[in-house]
Amino acid sequence: MLRKVALNLLSAGLLILSFPRFNLEFLVWFAFVPLFFALEEKSKFKSFLLSYFTGVIFWLGIVYWLIHVTLPGMIILVLYLALYFGIFGLIISCYRLQATGYRLFSIPAIWVLLEYLRSHLFTGFAWALLGYSQYLNLPIIQLADITGVWGISFLVMMVNVVIKEIICYRLQAIGYRKSIKKLLFLAFSMWLVACGYGFFRLNQNIEGNKLRISVIQGNIPQEFKWDPNSKNFIIDRYINLTRQAIKDRPDLIVWPEAALPVVLEEEPVFYGKTKDFVREIKIPLLLGAVTSKDKLYYNSALLISAEGRLLNKYDKLHLVPFGEYIPLRKTLGFLQTVVPIGDFSRGKEYTIFKIQNSKLKTQNSFAVLICFEDLFPELSRSFAKKDADFLINITNDAWFKMTSSPYQHLQASVFRAVENRVALIRSANTGVSGFIAPTGKIISLVEGRKGRNIFISGYDTEEIIITKRNLSFYTRYPDIFIIACFLIILFGMIPRIRSKPKPKSR
């Protein structure tokens, strides 16, 4: 039993090292192999427990940063997320798909469907998906404009299964060896096609209009953000950084989520000060702020014109459960004593902003993703379908201190750019802020003197290319790959259903 536990720990450790800030993404391609060996010839119950244990260790290593907000909440979340690992092991044991010639495709399909379920159930937690580990592997992630991140998760898991089969190769019968050679060749061909497609995409020439944008990273500690004595300090920090950025002559300046430390309608003097500043520099400003209407509060993004007028406002659509609101408040209201929960209302519209290109005198469209909204592909797709030329993510990850959380968050932004073939700009209070190309390449990030990206103040300016584009396959048909995974599982179950013995008649 100790050997099995050691194998589980090895799998969890390899998976943790595959994600930020270690970024040893090559490890994920064989991270599940020890777990597969641990599950061999185990009962359904033991398979669940061993896989669940692996999940607990993995998620502790991934979301440990939540301890800075709530220890009980972190423990509850880890125990919940580990269930998907347990269910993965249970399904493999239940249907014994690992013992059939179809396992190279059925096991990855099971994993993808579980990731998809986790990303949608209970409003969803699409964090640390297996495919996200490859966010720096540009050739591989180009496939996301066809399959979404799910295709990358599938490919990674398939390679894990292949490696396990190779290790077992010499231990099997001759007939097995002949059949596995064909499957291994097919799997290798799929991986090669994915790489070939990636290199093709990366070598395409991208032409279009250029738009110059500056992002501001204020680096306001969380304990200062809503301190009444820090209001002027915070506003002055953003204004001073912006004065430096305007030397680059941007077409748009972006401040992060809740950059203004007040509710706009309750303390309009600070909003007025901001608009006066915008009129002075004559450059449009996008900023995050808390707004109110009819006694309801919203986490909003506002676009102020170069003349100091409010052009448009977006209210966050996907709120953080147990962070920005309490689901089933009458039943779960007691949780307010466990975690710090806001009291926000959900927005109702997919707002598209317009910005003027100062050189070409043309208008470009963009959409804003607030906080962790970039985790949800359906939001980005909806904005892309409404003709957003690029996306902007404004966020505040100061809650989680000097941890891997901001870099794990960055992974999702990379995939939203590739999936929809649009540039994505990030402005984060304490980082990571910067620019991501439609290929997923991280063009540049706000950096300090020692190359640090988080908990430093600064700004960055880049030109993004706005192309006349067609919607990507994934933007148009997002669930095709998920349906394919479901059909793979269904196809594998049919022979088992047919082979069940019929009850004898008396």
Can you say whether the dihedral through the CA atoms of 16, 19, 23, 27 is positive or negative?
positive
Whole-number CA gyration radius for the chain = 25
Pair 211, 283: CB distance under 8 Å: no
Nearest of 1, 17, 91, 8 to residue 54 by alpha carbon: 8
Of 115, 257, 324, 462, which is the active-site residue? Answer: 257
Between CA 194 and CA 397, with CA 15 as vertex, the angle to 5 degrees is 95
Nearest of 411, 414, 420 to residue 467 by alpha carbon: 420
Start-end of H helices in 203-248: 222-225, 231-245
Pair 222, 257: CB distance under 8 Å: no
Cα–Cα distance, 396 to 406 (Å, whole number):
9
Q: Convert 196-235 to b/e letters by CB count within 10 Å (16 or more is b).
A: ebbeebeeeeeeebebbbbbbbbbbebeebeeeebbeebb
Pair 348, 96: CB distance under 8 Å: no
371 is catalytic: yes
Of 225, 371, 373, 419, which is the active-site residue? Answer: 371
Cα–Cα distance, 76 to 339 (Å, whole number):
12
Residue with tokens 């013995």: 501
Which uninterrupted H or E stretch holds 47?
helix 44-62
Residues in the chain: 506
257 is catalytic: yes
Pair 446, 456: CB distance under 8 Å: yes
Catalytic residues: 257, 316, 371
